[in-house]
Amino acid sequence: MKILLFGKNGQLGWELQRSLAPLGELVALCRHSTEFCGDLQRPDALADTVERIAPDVIVNAAAYTAVDQAEAEPEIARAVNARAPALLARLASERKAWLVHYSTDYVFNGGGDTPWRESCPTAPINVYGQTKLEGEAAIQDSGCRHLIFRTSWVYAARGGNFAKTMLRLGQERDTLTVIDDQVGAPTGADLLADVTAHALRAAVREPALAGLYHLAAGGETSWHGYAAFVLEQARAAGVELKTAPGAVLPVDSSGFPTAARRPLNSRLDTRKLQEAFGLHLPDWRVGVTRLLTEILDKT
Ligand SMILES: NC(=O)C1=CN([C@@H]2O[C@H](COP(=O)(O)OP(=O)(O)OC[C@H]3O[C@@H](n4cnc5c(N)ncnc54)[C@H](OP(=O)(O)O)[C@@H]3O)[C@@H](O)[C@H]2O)C=CC1
Ligand SMILES: Cc1cn([C@H]2C[C@H](O)[C@@H](COP(=O)(O)OP(=O)(O)O[C@H]3O[C@@H](C)C(=O)[C@@H](O)[C@H]3O)O2)c(=O)[nH]c1=O
């Protein structure tokens, strides 16, 4: 099996390089690759890349993920998150290749407090979520064989994420103010990558498994609960923090204004994935603890 991976240097792309390697020949590209084009904003060159590599599977881990910035540059977000996946889907369809793609909890409006199922109505409340939804729809409409994984609150040892921001701020500030009315599940890029490899292997054998799946770690928390957990673990590991226990102050969304609105309810119901692929998704604390062990060991 020949796999073409886009976005190899992102949080997920980096982990996918490890998880996908045992499945076959892997060609991994980033925006600045030279021999082949890995820039999702260059459609002609992208089509040429796919033609020359002739992959059996295209895995798209590249995306425009700057949620607040997307409000100011919707056309760039749309080119990367919607138009490029649409092109990759057409190219995959033409050559009967699989397309693996990732989407987000931000396709939902955040109403209610029950976990979203794949069949729930989408209604994004920010530009990033809207463009990611357009990408999903284009893939589904193309008729290509695909796996789309909607996930949430991704972190990894490599790359920027909320856990690392909290670790840094905890060493700089006496108090932190963190939103406690947005609820979801922090999900490790390593878990996403391993589940992708497992699911892809199964789907190639059993094409009826193609489709859209929610994929997130088990359990739930708020950004405030997540921040408090990260700092508590760091303190226990001997990191000197300026933020004292109890000085992570909970606020509702209006207490921490941002350019983009975020959904209050980001819970994803992952039963479809677990049943289809015979998987158990571990609690979010398991992965975050591993992340901290890894990054604190290096400091
Ligand atoms: N991060 C999160 O919390 C969540 C992410 N997701 C989805 O998961 C997937 C992976 O996200 P994650 O790994 O966390 O994201 P990252 O932001 O870590 O990585 C995204 C990668 O995409 C690349 N990229 C951006 N624009 C282009 C372009 N024009 N051409 C080629 N590459 C480009 C970036 O490259 P460069 O560094 O050069 O800009 C970066 O390497 C995405 O589909 C995302 O929407 C879903 C839910 C949560
Ligand atoms: C830095 C900071 C953020 N926050 C809030 C703002 C926001 O509501 C929440 C998370 O902020 P961030 O900007 O780190 O995360 P954000 O960019 O919103 O993360 C999202 O990224 C995209 C790509 C996704 O697909 C989503 O699943 C989600 O992970 O925490 C605080 O309350 N206090 C703080 O000090």
297, 239 Cβ separation under 8 angstroms:
no
Task: Please list the alpha-helical segments (H only) found in 105-222.
Answer: 127-142, 162-172, 189-205
Distance CA 106, CA 126 (A): 8
Q: What percent of the chain has pLDDT over 90?
A: 99
> Where do the structural domains in the chain lie, given as residue ranges?
2-158+187-217+268-279
Residue to substitute in 64, 168, 223, 267 for testing ligand 2 pocket (most ligand atoms within 8 angstroms of CB)? 223
Report the top-level CATH class of 2-158+187-217+268-279.
alpha beta
**Closest approach atom of ligand 1 to CA 9:** 41
pLDDT at 49 over 80: yes
Q: What percent of the chain has pLDDT over 70?
A: 99
CB of 38 shorter than 6 A to ligand 1? yes
Q: What are phi and psi of 78, to 5 degrees?
A: -70, -40
Q: What is the pLDDT of residue 77?
A: 98
Secondary structure class of 265 (helix, strand, coil)? strand
Distance CA 6, CA 76 (A): 17
Distance CA 295, CA 80 (A): 30
Query: Quick one: average pLDDT of 71-84?
Result: 98
C-beta atoms surrounding 91 within 10 Å: 22
Query: Quick one: average pLDDT of 34-50?
Result: 97
> Which residues contact residue 87 at a Cβ distance below 8 angstroms, ignoring those fewer than 6 apart?
43, 46, 47
> Which residues contact residue 86 at a Cβ distance below 8 angstroms, ignoring those fewer than 6 apart?
135, 138, 139, 142
CB of 108 shorter than 6 A to ligand 2? no
pLDDT at 8 over 80: yes
Q: What is the pLDDT of residue 297?
A: 79
Work out the burial of residue 35: count CB atoms within 10 Å of its CB; fewer than 13 is exposed, 13-18 middle, 19 or more buried.
Answer: exposed
Query: Quick one: average pLDDT of 213-234?
Result: 98
CB of 63 shorter than 6 A to ligand 1? yes
Task: Output the CA 9–ligand 1 centroid distance in Å.
Answer: 9
CB environment 157-174: b (16+ within 10 A), e (fewer): bebebbbbebbebbeeee
Q: What is the pLDDT of residue 299?
A: 56
pLDDT at 231 over 60: yes
**Closest approach atom of ligand 1 to CA 101:** 43
pLDDT at 83 over 90: yes
Q: What are phi and psi of 124, to 5 degrees?
A: -60, 150
Using CA atoms in the order 166, 180, 214, 262, what is the torsion angle rounded to 10 degrees? -90
With 0.95 as the threshold, say if the pTM is over it.
yes
Interface confidence (ipTM) of the complex: 0.99
> What are 22's two structure tokens?
């045992």
Catalytic (active-site) positions: 128
pLDDT at 53 over 80: yes
Q: What is the pLDDT of residues 109-167, one digit of tens each?
A: 999 999 999 999 999 999 999 999 999 999 999 999 999 999 999 999 999 999 999 99
Secondary structure class of 142 (helix, strand, coil)? helix
If you average pLDDT over every residue of the chain, what do you get?
Answer: 97
CA angle 162, 131, 58 (to 5 degrees): 85
Angle between helices 84-95 and 127-142 (to 10 degrees): 10
pLDDT at 221 over 60: yes
Q: What is the pLDDT of residues 166-207, one digit of tens each?
A: 999 999 999 999 999 999 999 999 999 999 999 999 999 999
